[in-house]
Amino acid sequence: MDTSTPDTPPGAAAIGQREFREIADFAPVMIWRSGLDSLCDWFNKPWLEFTGRTLEQELGLGWAEGVHPDDHDRCVDLYSRAFEAREPFSMEYRLRRFDGEYRWLLDNGSPFQRDGEFAGFFGSCVDISFHHDAERRQQLLIDELNHRVRNTLAIVQGIARQTFDGVGGEAPGLFSDRIQALARAHALLTDAHWQPVDLREMVALITAPWGDASRLLHEGPAVMLPSTTAVLLALALQELCTNSVRFGALSVPDGQVRLTWRCDGGRFELRWSEAGAPPAPATGHRGFGTRLLERAVPAELRGEARLAFTQTGLEWHLLAPLPRVRG
Amino acid sequence: MGLALGGQRVLVVEDEAVLGMLIEDVLELAGATVVGPATRLPQALAMASNEPLDLAVLDVNLHGEMVFPVARALRERNVRFIFATGYSDALGHPEFNGVPVLVKPYTGSALVEALAVLLLADPAIDS
């Protein structure tokens, strides 16, 4: 069998070496290599041009001197662990540029083999400061927006207080309580970065002002709710709480409320059940709360709900598919 | 003078349930019959295609989906509509350049007025 390599013309080895040298030094990416002892033994030209240091200065652990003090330990630690496990890694850290400015780098490292044996690591880095700054600016904007939403709700409450000044009846208090419930739901969602929130947390937050566990018991498994559903359910529960405090089980010393829910084979079932409530006031008025509980919440959850006055007090029963959480 | 929207069937598409309730109240007070409120795109599309309708109010962003397919279905049937949106700038959608846009928060009377104006404009389109 012919073992020569007819595809490779004479002198190819020398050309190949030169071309590899060119790739290493002119590709717009910073490259490093470490040996079996995990110490770096080579850096390409773009790396050295970036740091403005000599190869000798960077060798061994010299490169780590340029890593930002806040990132240094994490960076060295992650590298050591990946090296020991001989597993690829990807990390971000700040490295000092020749002009003294720290730039964010994305460093991808990977083990390499020589003659079939593990021989060390190669790594390549790119400057991702631009993306990092954009992300930071975005986070600042989101924080600012959340702050403004809270502020705006507080302002709405202030305006309402001024507007209702001298107006008797329950309306001013009810309005204020509703805005409060909305603000609390928003705060919970803000903390969760508008990702789905746990129903247990939301219930605890909304019911807290209206009674402790001896009066207002709530119990159920974790159920993740998308943000829109969570806000709506918070408003609906708020209506149940205030109604109970005004007319229902929580308006008398011995009354009790049980708020329970369960998930069963893709179904979600929630029940608000009052005991020991005084007889329901005769009212044909279908107010905000009734509409939320009978129509808006079941429509949002694509389920059904029933609101009924029993001998012991108000009952609200919600049956729906388990809320779907995107992504 | 009769009610501004007396006898009109108005499709309401709005993903915030509380706002949907508010719009419903306002329109009913103005004499309209409300179809919906639809809170999701498929539901809104079904109503826009199948229900007898005279007018529509469309929230632009429905749980992250744009309402434009609903707008196209309405246009197909010559049902006039307005957009309601929380975004402060224009829709940026050349296809719907001439459609009136109400920017949230808007008042009930602004909503009724915007719909009433549609009724006055070019009645020939219905024939």
Which 8-state DSSP code applies to residue A172? H
Q: φ and ψ at A218, to 5 degrees?
A: -130, 140
B positions 45-64 inside 8 Å of A (CB):
63
What residues pair up with A60 in beta bridges, in sequence order? Answer: A40
**More confidently predicted of B77 and A311:** B77
**In chain A, what residues touch B15 (CB-CB under 8 Å)?**
228
Judged against a pLDDT cut of 80, whether residue A205 lies above it is answered with yes
ipTM over 0.90: no
Distance between CA A23 and CA A112 in Å, rounded? Answer: 18
Average pLDDT value over all residues in chain B? 87
pLDDT in tens, A245-278: 988 999 998 899 999 999 988 999 999 999 988 8
Closest to A286 in 3D by CA, of B21, B13, B84: B21
CB B104 within 8 A of CB B114: no
Q: Measure in Å the smallest separation between the Cα of A288 and chain B Cα atoms.
A: 9
Query: Between chains, do B39 and A297 touch, taking CB under 8 Å as contact?
Result: no
Q: What is the mean pLDDT of residues B65-75?
A: 94
Q: Do A228 and B20 touch (CB under 8 A)?
A: no
Other CB atoms within a 10 A radius of the CB of residue B114 amount to 18
How close B45 comes to chain A (CA, Å)?
A: 16
Task: Count how many residues are written for chain A.
Answer: 327
d(CA A290, CA A296): 9
Helix (H) or strand (E) holding A55: helix A55-58
Q: How far is it, in rounded angstroms, from Cα A243 to Cα B51? A: 37
At A166, the pLDDT band (50, 70, 90 cuts) reads confident
For A113, other C-beta atoms within 10 Å of its C-beta total 10
CB atoms closer than 10 angstroms to residue A127: 17
Q: What is the pLDDT of residue B122?
A: 59
Q: Give the closest-approach CA distance of A282 to chain B in angstroms.
A: 23
- pLDDT category, A286, cuts 50, 70, 90? low
Q: Are A235 and A185 in contact (CB under 8 A)?
A: yes
CB atoms within 10 A of CB A252: 13
Of A326 and A196, more confident:
A196
What percentage of chain B has pLDDT greater than the value 70? Answer: 90
Mean pLDDT of A138-166: 85
With CB atoms and an 8 Å threshold, state whether B21 touches A232.
no
Residue A12: pLDDT band (50, 70, 90) is low
Whether residue A7 has pLDDT greater than 70: no
* B37 prior amide bond cis, ω within 30: yes
Element (H, E) at A93: strand A89-96
| 8 Å CB contact of B17 and A232 | yes
Cβ–Cβ below 8 Å for A235 and B63: no
pLDDT at A105 over 80: yes
What pLDDT, on a 0 to 100 scale, did the predictor assign at position A9?
56
Give the residue on A whose Cα is nearest the Cα of B25.
Answer: A288
How far apart are alpha carbons A133 and B99 in whole angstroms?
Answer: 38
Measured between beta carbons, the chain A residues lying within 8 angstroms of B21 are: 288, 291-292, 295-296
Which two three-digit tokens encode residue B53?
């309708």
DSSP B31: T
Name the residue facing B39 among A235, A288, A299 (closest C-beta): A299
Does B88 reach chain A within 8 Å, measured CB to CB? Answer: no
For residue A283, the model assigns a pLDDT of 60
At residue B123, the pLDDT reads 53
